[in-house]
Amino acid sequence: MMARGLVGIGLAVAALSTLSLYRETLGFPIAYLALLTTALFWVTQATSWNILSGYSGYFSFGQAAYVGVGAYTTAVLFGRHEWNFYLTVLIAAGLCAVLALGMGLLAFRLRSLRGEIFALLTLAVPFILAALARINGSIDGGQGIIVAIPDFPAALGRFQDFLYLITLLVAGIAVAVAFVMAHSRSGWALASIRDAEDVAEALGVATFRHKLWALVASAVIGGVGGSVFALQIGFVTVDSVFSLTVPLFVIVMSVLGGRTHWFGPVLGAVLVVLLQDRLSAMALLGWQPVILGAVLIVMILVAPEGLYVRVRNLWPRSRGSKTPPADLSEVDEQLSVVDDSVLVECRDLSKHFGGVRAVEGLSLQIRAGELVGLVGPNGSGKTTLVNLLAGSLRPTRGSIHIAGRDTTGLPPHRIAHVGVARTYQIPRPFASMTVRDNVAMAVLFGREPRRLAHARRLAAGHLAMVGLDHLGDAYPSALNLHQRQLLEMARALATSPKLLLLDEALAGLNPAEIDNAVEVVRRIHASGVCVVIVEHLLRVVRALATRVVVLDRGSCLADGDPETVLSDPAVVRAYLGKRAHA
Amino acid sequence: MITIQSALTGLLLGGLYALMAAGVSVTWGVLRIINLAHFGMILISAYLTFQLASDWGLDPILTLAVTVPAMFVAGGALQWAYDRLGISELNSLLASFGLLIVIVQLVSNVWSADFQRMSAAVNPYATASVGIGRLVFPVTTLLAFLVAVAFIAAAELVLRRTFAGRALRAFAEDRTIASAFGIDHRRLGIVLGGLSGATAAVAGMLFALANALTPATAFEWFGIVFAVVILGGIGHLTGTLAAGLLVGALSGVVSVLLSPAAAPFVLFTAIVLALLLRPRGLFVRAAQ
């Protein structure tokens, strides 16, 4: 798959290069070559934008920053100081990488970073850089810089040929990078971030690292493109490279072609440049932004997934749905030996939200073979405890050790790799992936990562475990609540956890579904996974748990075997109020 | 002295930023629509003020009689359309970005990309100024500030004291629950969109009083005003006012101490830092 695609991209680049290399033999007009060069510049920029914004869903208005940094690096160093042109391209790439690292380290560190805030941050960066270039005489100083023609092999023909070939090369590399990313772990990680970022993190995806690298890759590609663009325009001014047209163009192109697919921006860029060319031929250039804006609006409203994805979905999948045979061997290999070792150890654990003490001085040991029912009235700190164990929250005080490792303050994906998996009260599947890929995703990034094909086979096994194997090719939107909750469990299992945290996994189900879910949980426990289940239905807790922990106002009220604990007067009082007991 | 003067002038100008931001902030906070086309509406209002005053010799302030109803209808219609199309928050950002581009280009096609300014004959406000001690303020700037403060204070009162205001806040808090309690979100959205359109009309008029117009100005607003919205805290009117004043004062001081060209550099750097330190806004107490 990967190799075939790369060969395809290589062949396309080779085919396009003949237009210049054999231009005279083919009788290809040089004016078209200029048009193609423009198209290829935009292919590079749109692809660069898409690597971060399309794949991960973090929208950027800052594409002009990379074009500007790239163009000015070449303009100043090559145009003014006559350094080697190719060296300036490399320096441009390096500067953009540094810029992106800086932006990413600052922005992605924010725990509460929202997409709109990121969009604004990226909007501000080109403004800052443009102002810097304008006031700094050693960069621009408001004059603009002339960029001469670099030396190039005479065999290539005219300067336009050279420009075309080098732009083609850059575009080819950009598309190849986007293709490889889309088909690697990185592409899966970014797609899961787009769908549900904190779920991805809890499943073991190192979201920070993947976002950062996507940002850097995007910036480097954009910067190299901008560097070559300086040759193309020949005269670099602040307004020509730092303008808002750049983000407008790349956003329209990517939205038009399709944001989730590597080929979308390529298609979009070619279409928009052709449209632009036709409009200028018809002397309608003043209407071009109107039409682009209208295209953006219409696409968002009618087909936000983009033309490429839309058209591709018209074809029935020729390969058919390849349902891989379930691989149950590894699922079943774990034997249900009663394991007595301590798996979880919380010491003096506290979590305060302002003045609210959600968890206060809790000390708790959980053994590997147990199935612990965590109960307590609303607000007693059950979900907070789950969030603390999974690392979604950091404790105010105290420590957590899981499987012998201190996990206090570790990011959630590291805790997932220690062997903790969780489900959410309200199921949160990755909407853009099939049910099987939702689970395969968890295998890919789990404690024991596998290759994709193997991961999909294992996923089928996990789906069989929860009884969803017949729905592997469906999308999560087609599932009912019960099935989504089972999917949550299958996905959590796929990370091969030692500890599974089920947060009200049975809420909202009817009695028959509850019985089914109870059976599934029992099976999971029997396969050797320690389970902590938060549940309000005492019938379920009684049926499942080997031990019950009752929380009340953040502290442990009772702890022991289900029968004793659930008939404890203090527990009844906490649940039902004082009068009920009296 | 010059520094104080420019800080104060900047502060007063910041009132206009706040007024521009208020409409965006409220529709974002309450309706979950990021309406960048709002800047387009301000732009159209500014040009309408210019055109009506120049053609009919109308006092620029009186042009509000035309622009306010027009923008009320436009803003209401826009929110109605967003609602009917069931557009998500992020997609509204993109679609209205497209709309903004369309509006800016149409304005440029109609009125040209050149700078245009009302002649002194129709615009007596442009050259008048008020002296307070050794400080001198242009009437246009004072007017913009007073109107902005009055608008935002009035809006804040409405939000806190009236039934409609409470309904709005309830809706911003949790739209599903609010709907269940009988709040008609469609009508609410249209009225709110209309009101924010009306503020766009006023902001456009105030801008046209003091400045020469060019379509690309809308993009400058996009950068600064969008930042004011977020710094003030989305949906928080008093925060928006404070953020607007702060941004205005900062850019005023930097323009004098360094150079006007350096203002965007310092300003946006400050905005980026502020966002990184307080991503929910400068004046919003951190939630749990």
Among B32, B43, B87, B90, which would you mutate to test the A interface (most chain A Cβ atoms within 10 Å of its Cβ)? B90
E strands, A162-319, in order: 235-236
Structure confidence at residue A337 as a pLDDT band (50, 70, 90)? low
Q: Compute the average pLDDT of residues A95-106.
A: 93
Give the nearest partner residue to B279 out of A117, A130, A135, using CB atoms: A117
* Least confident piece of the model among A262-266, A321-325, A431-435, B18-22: A321-325
- Judging contacts by C-beta atoms under 8 Å, the chain A residues touching residue B222 are 123, 244
Task: Write out chain A residues lying below 8 Å of B102, CB-based.
Answer: 289-290, 293-294, 297
Candidates A57, A123, A297; nearest CB to B95: A297
d(CA A338, CA A361): 29
Q: How many CA atoms lie within 13 A of A387 on its CB side?
A: 16
**Nearest-neighbour CA in chain B from A62: distance (Å):** 12
Q: Output the 3-class SS for chain B.
A: CHHHHHHHHHHHHHHHHHHHHHHHHHHHHHHCCCCCHHHHHHHHHHHHHHHHHHHHCCCHHHHHHHHHHHHHHHHHHHHHHHHHHCCCHHHHHHHHHHHHHHHHHHHHHHHCCCCECCCCCCCCCCCCEEEECCEEEEHHHHHHHHHHHHHHHHHHHHHHHCHHHHHHHHHHHCHHHHHHCCCCHHHHHHHHHHHHHHHHHHHHHHHHHHCCECCCHHHHHHHHHHHHHHHHCCCCHHHHHHHHHHHHHHHHHHHHHCCHHHHHHHHHHHHHHHHHHCCCCCCCCCCC
**How far B96 CA sits from the closest chain A CA (Å)?**
7
Asked if B104 reaches chain A (Cβ–Cβ under 8 Å), the answer is yes
Check CB contact of B226 with chain A, cutoff 8 Å. yes
Sign of CA dihedral A467, A470, A476, A478: negative
Average pLDDT, chain B: 86
DSSP A154: G
The answer, yes or no, to whether residue A456 has pLDDT greater than 70, is yes
Of all residues in chain B, the percent with pLDDT exceeding 90 is: 30
Chain B stretch 178-217, residues whose beta carbon is closer than 8 A to a beta carbon of chain A: none
Q: List the A371-375 sheet strands across, edge first.
A: A420-422, A499-503, A530-534, A371-375, A547-552, A555-560
Is residue A175 within 8 Å of A43, Cβ to Cβ? Answer: yes
Q: Which of B98, B262, B272 is opposite residue A135, by nearest beta carbon?
A: B262
Taking the CA of residue B59 and the nearest CA in chain A, the distance in Å comes to: 32
Please give the pLDDT value at position A548: 92
DSSP A151: P
Among A567, A569, A517, which residue's Cα sits nearest to residue A543? A517
- Nearest residue on chain B to A356, judged by CA atoms? B288
The ipTM assigned to this model is 0.83
Q: For residue A293, give the nearest of B101, B226, B262 by CB distance.
A: B101
Please give the average per-residue pLDDT across A335-363, as a whole number: 83
Minimum Cα–Cα distance from A57: chain B residue: B90
Domains of chain B: 2-277 (1.10.3470)
Answer whether residue B86 shows pLDDT above 90: no
Q: What is the 3-state secondary structure (H, E, C) of A453-487?
A: HHHHHHHHHHHHHHCCHHHCCCCHHHCCHHHHHHH
> Model confidence at A320, in pLDDT bands (50, 70, 90)?
very low
CB contact under 8 A, A292 and B222: no
Question: What average pLDDT score do residues B269-279 get?
Answer: 79
Residue of B nearest to A249 (CA): B98
**The amino acid at A19:** L
State how far the Cα of A352 lies from the Cα of B288, in Å rounded to an integer. 9
The two structure tokens encoding residue B272: 């980026």
Q: What angle do CA B95, A96, A229 make, to 5 degrees?
A: 75
**Tokens 């769908």 map to which residue?**
A195
Cβ atoms of residues A551 and A541 within 8 Å: no
CA distance A420 to A410: 12
Average confidence score pLDDT of chain A: 88
Q: Is residue A334 pLDDT above 50, yes or no?
A: no
Contact residues for A292 (Cβ-Cβ < 8 A; gap 6+): A248, A249, A252, A272, A275, B98, B101
All residues at 6 or more sequence positions from A582 whose CB lies less than 8 Å from its CB, including other chains: none
> Is residue B270 less than 8 Å (CB to CB) from chain A?
no
> Which of B99, B109, B226 lies at the smallest CB-CB distance from A286?
B109
Q: Element (H or E) spanning A350, and its range?
A: strand A342-353
Which candidate from A107, A119, A121 shows the least CB-CB separation from B93?
A119
**Chain length of chain B:** 288
**pLDDT score for B177:** 78
Q: What is the pLDDT of residue A348?
A: 92
Q: Per the CB < 8 Å rule, is B102 touching A128?
A: no
| Chain B residues closer than 8 Å to A122 by CB | none
pLDDT tens, B100-146? 989 999 999 999 888 988 887 777 787 777 877 777 888 888 888 99
Q: What chain B residue is nearest to A131 in terms of C-alpha separation?
A: B265
Inter-chain CB proximity A292 and B101 less than 8 Å:
yes
Give yes or no for B268 touching A (CB within 8 A).
yes
Chain B nearest-CA residue for A58: B90
> For A282-308, how does the pLDDT look when each residue is reduced to its tens digit (9 = 90+)?
877 778 888 888 988 988 888 888 888
Instruction: Using DSSP bridges, classify how beta strands A371-375 and A547-552 pair: parallel, antiparallel or unpaired.
Output: parallel
> Which residue of B272, B280, B282 is the best one to mutate when testing the A interface, meaning the one whose CB has the most A CBs within 10 A?
B272
Phi-psi region of B98 (alpha: psi -120 to 50; beta: other; left: phi over 0): alpha
SS3 A282: coil
Q: Report yes or no: B269 at the A interface, CB cutoff 8 Å.
A: yes
What tokens were used for A163?
A: 């420009």
Q: Is the pLDDT of residue A257 over 50?
A: yes
- CA dist B173 and B178 (Å) reads 8
Region A57-73 average pLDDT: 94
From the list B100, B226, B288, the residue facing A120 with the nearest CB is B226
Nearest to A290 among B102, B222, B259 (CB): B102
Given an 8 Å threshold on Cβ–Cβ distance, is A297 in contact with B264? no
Q: Which residue of B89, B94, B109 is in closest CB contact with A251?
A: B94
Q: Which among A434, A377, A294, A302 has a CA at the least distance from the CA of A555?
A: A377
Q: How confident is residue A276, by pLDDT bands cut at 50, 70 and 90?
A: confident
pTM, rounded to two decimals:
0.88
Residue A318 binned pLDDT confidence (cut-offs 50, 70, 90) = very low
pLDDT tens, position by position, B173-221 = 777 777 777 777 788 889 889 999 999 999 999 999 888 899 988 888 8
Residue B268 has pLDDT above 70, yes or no: yes
Chain B, nearest residue to A60 by Cα: B94
State whether residue B271 sits within 8 Å of chain A by CB. Answer: yes
Q: Round to whole Å and give the CA distance between A177 and A182.
A: 8
Cα B26 from chain centre: 11
Q: How far apart are CA B196 and CA B22, in angstroms?
A: 8
% of chain A beyond a pLDDT of 70: 94
d(CA A331, CA A34): 58
Q: Greatest CA span in chain B, whole angstroms?
A: 58
What's the rounded Cα separation, in Å, for the pair B36 and A545? 54
> What is the reported pLDDT for A138?
86
Q: Residue B67 — pLDDT band, cuts 50, 70, 90?
A: very high
A with B: how many residue pairs have Cβ under 8 Å apart?
A: 118
Report the pLDDT value the prediction gives residue A312, as an integer from 0 to 100.
Answer: 81
Q: Which residues of B touch A289 (CB under 8 A)?
A: 101-102, 104-105
C-alpha A318/C-alpha A313 separation (Å) is 11
3-state DSSP call for residue A376?
Answer: coil
- Distance from the A127 Cα atom to the nearest Cα atom in chain B, whole angstroms: 7
Q: Which residues of B touch A293 (CB under 8 A)?
A: 97-102, 105
What integer pLDDT is reported at residue A159 of this predicted model? Answer: 92
